Every structure is written in structure tokens, then in C-alpha cells.
Amino acid sequence: MRPFAYERAADPGAAATAVVDGTDAMFLAGGTNLVDLMKLGVARPAKLVDVTRLPYDRIEHRADGSVLIGATVRNSDLAGDRGIRERFPMLTRAVLSGASGQLRSMATTGGNLLQRTRCPYFQDVTKPCNKRDPGAGCSAIGGGHRDLGVIGTSGSCVATHPSDMAVAMAALDAVVHLRLAGGEERAVPLHDLYLLPGDTPDRETVLEPGDLITGVELPPPPDGAAMRYRKVRDRWSYAFAVVSVAALVTTEGGGSLREIRLALGGVAPQPWRAHQAERMLAGHRPNRELLLAAAEAEFASARPLPGNEFKIGLAADLIAASVRDLMADLVAEERR
């Protein structure tokens, strides 16, 4: 590992100044992604600015049913919070599906959202990669395709965002709270935090140097909502999603969907909100044929590679199974 300077920020302003004024300085929270990339030689910051002592380590449950999750709340504390377990069970399941217990005890909310979109070629500094070296080319497109993205990708990058937590938050309509480098505060929907790769895959979010995530706000879940997170992975423990689905539904008379939210993981460079599928399903009774047609419409713009076409069919099956199970849960609840 290359030598680097270390500074512990005393307040948000000092943290921003240290990153903006520093040469190749980066924020450090849990370090579960950043330190790994430093060991591999992918990330080479000259200075790390530790933000774990800033006042963003609490979970605030509000009277209106919303919750504000501080950026430095550890993943293990988030998953174990009683209010989150009871009112946002999809988020609890997603967090517990990610990494190992040891990593969850270090990883933070903000860091989880900002972990790098990546593939094995990004992490191998001997291979050309547009994310590491813009204009160098994408080794993944001519390499092994199985775990790469199928939608939202470009000719410059086909990597996927690895977060489970972010997929659940996308389906929960999360809003990310930011403190900008100049001291202004801003709130952006989670979807708007991320940038698709296009011709600039090295830039993954709208954040500028010195901008800091301070928290994530979840609005109250809809009345009567049922929600679920389902993840397909190669092994039960400590594996990224091949495909994952976060689903939330509410129903109205006759068993039709009043509201449906779907977010996908393992298929795109960001947590993928399936808006097209949602529009096709809302207001209808979701039989298998309609569910599969909605999934097909969602992936109409997909650009699968020869080794990962199966992800589209797998995602469709997961969407169908998740929605059917949630509808069954709601019917069972009504009969109690």
C-alpha cells in the first residue's frame, strides 16, 4: 500500500475543506470498499479524511412515520433497529443479505451507497478500464460476462452496482441528504444520486469533491403495504447478487394493485427502479402473464452480453414470484 496522510475531521466544514483543498483526498468512513481498493492499487488517495466522528450516527424515527438514517450509522445497527425491522422489513432483509457480519459492523449507510460500481476488470490494474483510466477501453466487454450489467450500461462500461441496501432504499423512495462543499444543504431522490456510465463511467454520482452524504430519509410506507427483498446469489453467505428484487405492493378492491414499486439489483450500474414495469402493473390484478409482460417491457432497452442474457429471464421470474408472494401475504392478512 502506498503511503497516505490521515486526518480526523472535527466538524463537517473541516471535512469538506480537507477534501477540497487536499491533493487526491477522500472521505473515509467504514473503509470496507475503499481500503480494499487501496490494497489493490485501484484507489490511490494521498490523504484520507475520517468522517466517523461527525454527528451522523443516529436513526431518527419521526412522528409522521418517516425515518432519517444518519450517514455513519453502521449497517449492523441499521438492520438491528426495531423500528426499521417492524416498518421497513425489506430494508432489514437487504442489509442482512449483504456481506458478512464483520463487514456489516464496519460499513456505514453513506459508504454503502457510494461503494464503487465495479467488476473484476476494474479491480485488476493490469487490465484496461475506462473507470480507472478514461479512454483506456473496457476489458469486461471482451471478457467474462456472467456477472455484468444488462441494462443502463454503455459501450464504455458494463459494471454493476453491488449494494443490496441501495436496492431496497430505491423501492422505498429514499431521499439522500447532502452537505455540499460550500456548506449548502440539498436533498436528492436516491435515483438522482447516481449517473449512468455513458461515455464517462469514471463519474458515478452527482457528488463533487467535498460533498458529503449526511443521511438518508425514508418516507412513511403506504398504508397496508407489503414488502419483500429477494436475492439470487451463488452462495448463501457473502456474495453479490446475480439478480435481486425489492418489491412493495398495496391493493384495492378486487385484488388489483393500487401501488407497486420494484427495484432491481445485479443488472445495472445503479439500483434499477423498474418504472416501466410498475406502470404496466398498477391498477391491474397481477397474473403471471401480466407480470412477465411487464418485466419484458422493462428490459426492452437491455443490452445483454453473450454470457448474461439469462439475467433478464431470471429478473422476470423473481419479479413474478415476489409480487405473487406479496399478494398472498395481503390476502392472508385480510383473513386474519
Contact between 194 and 270 (Cβ < 8 Å): yes
Contact between 315 and 268 (Cβ < 8 Å): no
Helix (H) or strand (E) holding 330: helix 310-335
Q: How far is CA 328 from the centre of its chain?
A: 27
pLDDT in tens, 64-81: 999 999 999 999 999 999
**Residue bearing cell 487501496:** 38
**Residue bearing cell 473515509:** 28
Instruction: Report the alpha-carbon distance of residue 203 to residue 193 in Å, rounded.
Output: 11
Q: Which of 73, 167, 159 is nearest to 111 (CA)?
A: 73
CB neighbour list of residue 69: distance below 8 Å, 6 or more residues apart: 59, 78, 109, 215, 216, 217, 218
Instruction: Report the alpha-carbon distance of residue 84 to residue 106 in Å, rounded.
Output: 19
SS3 110: helix
**Residue bearing cell 424515527:** 61
Q: In the chain, what are the domains?
A: 226-335 (3.30.390.50)
pLDDT in tens, 260-299: 999 999 999 999 999 999 999 999 999 999 999 999 999 9
Mean per-residue pLDDT over the chain, rounded: 95
Contact between 273 and 249 (Cβ < 8 Å): no
Interior angle at CA 290, CA 286 and CA 292, nearest 5: 115
Task: Decide if pLDDT at 237 tops 90.
Answer: no
Structure confidence at residue 195 (pLDDT): 98
Give me the mean pLDDT over the 49-78 stretch. Answer: 97
Task: Decide if pLDDT at 35 tops 70.
Answer: yes
Instruction: Report the alpha-carbon distance of residue 258 to residue 62 in Å, rounded.
Output: 25
Task: Decide if pLDDT at 167 tops 80.
Answer: yes
Structure confidence at residue 253 (pLDDT): 76
Task: Decide if pLDDT at 95 tops 70.
Answer: yes
Contact between 283 and 273 (Cβ < 8 Å): no
**Residue bearing cell 477534501:** 19
Confidence of residue 255 (pLDDT cuts 50, 70, 90): confident
Confidence of residue 334 (pLDDT cuts 50, 70, 90): confident
Instruction: Report the alpha-carbon distance of residue 317 to residue 255 in Å, rounded.
Output: 21
Helix (H) or strand (E) holding 190: helix 190-193
Confidence of residue 1 (pLDDT cuts 50, 70, 90): low
DSSP string, 33-87: THHHHHHHTS---SEEEE-TTSS---EEE-TTS-EEEETT-BHHHHHH-HHHHHH
Structure confidence at residue 21 (pLDDT): 76
Contact between 211 and 200 (Cβ < 8 Å): no
Q: Which of 260, 286, 277 is nearest to 315 (CA)?
A: 277
pLDDT > 70: what percent of the chain?
99
Q: Which amino acid is at 10?
A: A
Q: Which of 190, 12, 11 is nearest to 112 (CA)?
A: 190
